[in-house]
Amino acid sequence: MRGRGTVHECVRRRADDGSVTVFAVIAVTILVMAIGVVADLGSRLHRLQYVQDVARQAARAGADAANVPVSQGGTGAAVNPEKARVAAQAYLSSAGVTGTVRSTATTVTVTASADWTPVLLGLAGVGPRPVTGSSTATLVRVVGGTTR
């Protein structure tokens, strides 16, 4: 004869009711948080690469502001420091990035910076963080395949 079971069996069954639901809610919450962290850190890496690329391109733009009469005269390669600074700053501005430019007679160094704003980590209180990139372009004179 099948009965409903004893009182102890009924109580034991009811104590386990919903335990899978609680586990699933916790597991899904942790999974969503992990995906959010991965996505936000991926977007930070992308922003960092962008800022580094902008710094490289701005340094090249500044180095393109060579002192043409000196360079064409065959006496060496030289950068016009003021033209280099203006050209590099213009590139930074066009890319929507801030930064500093230092130039000498043969080098242009650019440090670019921008803010990275997390999306899901922002919900947890993590605010915008700065990312920076730096690059130096060196103007060299090459004659017959050798640097002089």
**pLDDT confidence of residue 106:** 85
pTM above 0.85, yes or no: no
**pLDDT confidence of residue 49:** 97
**pLDDT confidence of residue 85:** 93
**pLDDT confidence of residue 60:** 93
What HEC string does the chain produce?
A: CCCCCCHHHHHHHHHHCCHHHHHHHHHHHHHHHHHHHHHHHHHHHHHHHHHHHHHHHHHHHHHCCECHHHHHCCCCCCECHHHHHHHHHHHHHHCCCEEEEEECCCEEEEEEEEEECCCHHHHCCCCCEEEEEEEEEECCCEECCEEC
**pLDDT confidence of residue 16:** 59
**pLDDT confidence of residue 4:** 60
Report residues of the chain scoring pLDDT below 70.
1-18, 66-77, 148
